Amino acid sequence: MRWWEPLLGAWERVPAIVFHVGATLLVLLGLLRRDRRLLLAAMLLHIGFNAIAVVMLHFTGILLTELAITLAALLPLWLVFRLRKPLAAAAPSG
């Protein structure tokens, strides 16, 4: 094992946390807007995120897998910023 390979485990956590924060924000938007499509999108993104990890690791190796996961982790955050309205406008009035 090369000296830097154990550090990949620590790096893998960073995109995983970023992804889960983004997916959680999609769920929040879905609940605030009462839009099940956003909830479904969060679930499908999670399935895709896990599939990327499994398939890439099988076919390419650890470095390209971690790069793909890092790039894929940004997708939910991009969607949140693309779809969001100010939370005050999206929140139910009551």
- CA dist 3 and 7 (Å) reads 8
10-residue mean pLDDT profile of the chain (94 residues): values are 85 91 89 90 93 93 91 86 63 59
- CA dist 1 and 94 (Å) reads 59
Domain boundaries of the chain, sorted by first residue: 12-79
- CA dist 38 and 35 (Å) reads 6
Angstrom distances, CA of residue 59 to CA of 8, 25, 55, 62: 18, 31, 6, 10
pLDDT score at 56: 93
- CA dist 81 and 26 (Å) reads 10
Considering the entire predicted model, what is its pTM?
A: 0.77
